[in-house]
Structure 1
Amino acid sequence: MKETLLPEWPHRIDADDISLTPVRTTISASPQERKDLARRMMVQSIESLEAKLVLKRDAKRGVVHVTGHFKTSLTQLCVVTLEPLLQKIDGAVEGWFADPDKVVSIARLRHEKLGRKRDTELPMLEEENAPEPFLNGQIDLGELVAQHVSLTIDPYPRKEGIVFGQEHSDVENTPVPEIRRNPFAALKNWKKGEIQEK
């Protein structure tokens, strides 16, 4: 039996509550949700995460358009020194959602028709022409924001002024102490039976 992965930051809103009038909402992750998200995004910790969003339904197609921005503070380890680094990130959020049983995208139909032709390379569909489906009639805003946050995280964070290979160059540039001459080293040059008189 396949295990169902539960979202770390579920914040669902009923799609039927979204009309042509924009709906504004602010969501923030709890301490436990931030802990779970940090594990998923492979960072040390997430100190804060908040998003301000606007939801509006498209009058022609019935598609729900979500826009907004998020702010987060999180801690990563420098890939060179392994020191903790506090990162503050502001990013945009955008998503398109629709009822898959009621909305059929004209662009998607053309895309699929084009795909049936041989030797044709398919262009990428814009997200608004390939909206995500509602899940049980709902939109998970927390998961939408989490996906955008994960895309903005630096996979190779470095402390300011530190570059890859610096730890090796520091070793190479370390001055080598002067080696003292061993007073007994001259003994190896003596020949048997040869003694210098002073």
Structure 2
Amino acid sequence: MSTPELSRVFDVRQVEGKAARIEANEAERQALAERFTLVRVDSLVADLELHRNDRTVEAHGRLKAEFVQSCAVSGEDLPVSADEPLYFRFVPEMTGYQPDEEIELTADDCDEVEYSGSHFDLGEAVAQSLGLVIDPYLTGPQADAARKAAGIGTPEDQGPFAALKGLKLGKD
């Protein structure tokens, strides 16, 4: 497996009460832009507080990012600002189960990131959070003109009720 674009590895045994600042450098931002099909990532910073309970580490903080992505319709460059809360819970990798064994998951389990050994990658968790912030259907001010030029209507004109738009209700 290759190294993630934004790798910041921490030792579980040395994180209690620490503050972590994950800031992507130029090469990392360029690699993240390629990974997430963005025009560019201008800034990416996450400030987090780390707390440990035995081998479980919780990280709370904020992600702030500035990036440029293409309009899903016109392809024009659109600047985007993100300011999102972050919460991660890093837990030891689950072992001792068979591949076909059924496993019960609670809602809290879905927010867990497994790690093996005594180290976890906080940078990769931040990078994945950036990926979740990106709107894959983002449209800009030129989207309607691009739709018209391509002979495509608006999303409202193409939905299941589009044919009903032109009907008039009669009164009995």
- TM-score by length of structure 2 reads 0.73
Unaligned runs of 5+ in 1: 105-111, 117-121, 173-198
Question: Which 4+ residue blocks in structure 1 deviate beyond 6 angstroms?
Answer: none
1:146 counterpart = 2:119:
no
**5+ residue gaps, structure 2:** 152-172
CA displacement 1:83-128 (0-9 Å, x = unmatched)? 11111111121111123479x9xxxxxxx7xx48xxxxx6x42235
Residue-pair matches, total = 148
Distance 2:35 2:13 in 1: 31
User: Does the C-alpha gap of structure 1 residues 169 and 72 become closer, same or farther in structure 2, counting only changes over 3 Å?
Assistant: same
Question: What code does the residue aligned with 2:14 have?
Answer: D
Whole-Å Cα distance in 2 between the matches of residues 129 and 72 of structure 1?
Answer: 24
Contact 1:91 1:149 in 2 (8 A): no
SS of residue in 2 equivalent to 1:92: strand
- State whether residues 63 and 98 of structure 1, in contact with CA within 8 Å, keep that contact through their aligned partners in structure 2: yes
Indicate the SS of the match to 1:157. coil
Q: Work out the CA distance in 2 between the residues paired with 1:149 and 1:130.
A: 15
Alpha-carbon RMSD across the aligned residues, in angstroms, is 2.9
Corresponding residue for residue 51 of structure 1: 46
Amino acid at match of 2:25: S
Change (3 A) 1:30 1:14: same
Point out the structure with the larger strand share: 2
TM-score (norm 1): 0.64
Indicate conservation of the 8 Å contact 2:73/2:147, yes or no. Answer: no
How far the C-alpha of 1:171 sits from its partner, in A, is: 8.4
Output the CA distance in 2 between the equivalents of 1:47 and 1:11. 19
| Distance 1:53-1:72 versus aligned 2 partners, 3 A rule | same
- Max radius of gyration: which structure? 1
Does residue 96 (structure 1) correspond to residue 89 (structure 2)? The answer is yes
User: Residues 1-198 of structure 1 correspond to what in structure 2 (within 5 A)?
Assistant: 4-19=1-16, 22-58=17-53, 62-100=55-93, 115=102, 124-128=105-109, 131-160=112-141, 162-164=142-144, 166-169=145-148
The match for 1:177 is none
* 1:75–1:86 Cα contact (<8 Å) kept: yes
- The one-letter amino acid of 1:37's match is L
